[in-house]
Amino acid sequence: MGAMAHIVIIDDDEAICRTLDFHFKRQGFAVSYAHSAEEGMPIAVASEVDAVILDIRLPGRDGLNLLCDIKRRRPTLPVIMITAFHDFDTTVAAMQGGAVDYVPKPIDLDELDAAVDRVLARDRLRSSDDLVLGAAEPERSQMIGLSFPMKEVFKRIALVAQSRVTVLVLGESGTGKELVARAIHQASAERSHPFVAINCAALVETLLESEMFGHERGAFTGAIHTHRGKVEQAGEGTLFLDEIAELSPCLQGKLLRVLEEREYTPVGGTQTRKSKARFIAATNVNLRDRVVEGTFREDLYYRLNVASVDLPPLRARRGDLRPLVEYLLRKINRDLRRNIRRVSADVIDCLAAYDWPGNVRELDNVLMKAVVMERGDVLTVKALPCELCRPTAPSPRGGMEDASDGGLRSLRELERDHIEKVLASTGWHKGHTCEILGISRPRLERRIREFELRPAPRKDKGPPESVH
């Protein structure tokens, strides 16, 4: 970062402005700040400004509105958005409005520093033509995520949605790849056109070809009517190809022709048809390995992988567990006509300790089973499937047996050791620790006080590293 780079902070919270002013001045920056859009606009567009840190919620005109004005006046000026109201829709609006990064409140200074580092070091040449935001509000997304990995996914979705390039969505089974495809479609300029999905593993080859490209009457036994395929149904919208790795070599070649030439021929037909659809494919396997094995065409792989979105597994985003549970339980209550009002802390602890090989789909299934078994309006550990509850044996002292060391230890001791290990592994970064443990910041602070945990002294015997 340049020693005298000029940063402008626009936030109606005076305490945040003063804190960031002090923080960045200590690093050698020139800092200005304002508390409203009207006050901040003339400062932000001044020629000597190098970056803007902008709150979304401002009195009067909001930050998204001000962002558009700033980018019209200075298209290459990097703007970092901050807000306490972090969700997928807000992230899409901020990124498509021209923001280069997005940091939620409470602000993690390390994360904000990293964002400032990136924007001041990056190539700032960007065309204002890239700043396209549809006038219509996007549909409410079903994507849930407050963790850092999911915030990165949201940013990626916002960026790839701005063009009609083919996208490859990667991720383990159950991570929500179709949700990503739908989110890209809803964030695109073609959101009013159809979104059509097809599972490439659900049908045998002959039926899949007909389902994808359509067929003419009499093309095969039972084809008594002409059938419009998914490619035609998608029109100028989006065609989502799930489990793309399962396509046969023959269909891989036909799909490649559509991607390269934008044309196809229905089964039993003689005339080619044009396609204007945007293609999004998804897989839970490593397509590179399939290419090496010779079961997937290399040229098709590169055509599909123009842009990619890599979904993290649930075990890598434990900080999202609580909002996911809340969202899924509301849906389950509606679908099963139940009224679960609360989830006990023990249930959350139990869910956070599990690795979720089936990811969000497995979490949904587990919660549905638990709601069916729960008689009251509070979800308790007794209702959870037995595979989520680790077998333990009571000790004469009322403790639990830890199979890992063969000794008798209480649950409280196990919890203390686990929290201490995670804190040590993150260098006492409390934000990252909360994400890994799947607990809130206040709860972590209470546990640190209760267990009297302290950072390990540095080897150079200097003062302990600062905690976040």
What CATH code is carried by the domain that includes residue 60? 3.40.50.2300
280-317 burial: b if 16+ Cβ within 10 Å, else e = bbbbbeebeebbeeeebbeebbebbeebebebbbbebb
Say how far apart CA 236 and CA 271 lie, in whole Å.
Answer: 20
| Inside any domain, residue 401 | no
| Inside any domain, residue 338 | yes
DSSP helix/strand/coil, 390:
coil
Verify that 154 and 286 share a domain, yes or no. Answer: yes
Verify that 108 and 157 share a domain, yes or no. Answer: no
Predicted local distance difference test score (pLDDT) of residue 300: 96
Verify that 270 and 193 share a domain, yes or no. Answer: yes
Predicted local distance difference test score (pLDDT) of residue 232: 94
| Inside any domain, residue 139 | no
| Inside any domain, residue 141 | no
Predicted local distance difference test score (pLDDT) of residue 318: 86
Backbone dihedral angles phi then psi of residue 104, each to the nearest 5 degrees: -80, 160
Verify that 51 and 176 share a domain, yes or no. Answer: no
Verify that 155 and 198 share a domain, yes or no. Answer: yes
Predicted local distance difference test score (pLDDT) of residue 141: 46
| Inside any domain, residue 431 | yes
Verify that 231 and 121 share a domain, yes or no. Answer: no
Q: Where residue 447 sits, what CATH number does that domain have? A: 1.10.10.60
Predicted local distance difference test score (pLDDT) of residue 182: 94
Verify that 291 and 338 share a domain, yes or no. Answer: no
Tens-place pLDDT, residues 183-235: 999 999 999 999 999 999 888 888 899 899 988 887 777 777 888 899 999 99
Say how far apart CA 57 and CA 233 lie, in whole Å.
Answer: 41
Verify that 308 and 159 share a domain, yes or no. Answer: yes
Say how far apart CA 123 and CA 426 lie, in whole Å.
Answer: 31
Ranges of residues in the chain whose predicted pLDDT is under 70? 1-3, 85-87, 121-142, 390-412, 438, 440, 442, 458-468
58 CB-contact burial (10 Å; exposed 0-12 / middle 13-18 / buried 19+): buried
| Inside any domain, residue 142 | no
Verify that 285 and 325 share a domain, yes or no. Answer: no
Q: Which domain holds residue 340?
A: 315-388
Structural domains of the chain, count: 4
**Strand locations in 47-109 (E):** 51-55, 79-83, 101-104
| Inside any domain, residue 397 | no
| Inside any domain, residue 406 | no
Which residue among 265, 284, 312 closes a domain? Answer: 312
Verify that 366 and 297 share a domain, yes or no. Answer: no
Verify that 270 and 204 share a domain, yes or no. Answer: yes
Verify that 179 and 301 share a domain, yes or no. Answer: yes
Q: Where residue 327 sits, what CATH number does that domain have? A: 1.10.8.60
Predicted local distance difference test score (pLDDT) of residue 93: 82
Q: Where residue 265 sits, what CATH number does that domain have? A: 3.40.50.300
Predicted local distance difference test score (pLDDT) of residue 248: 92
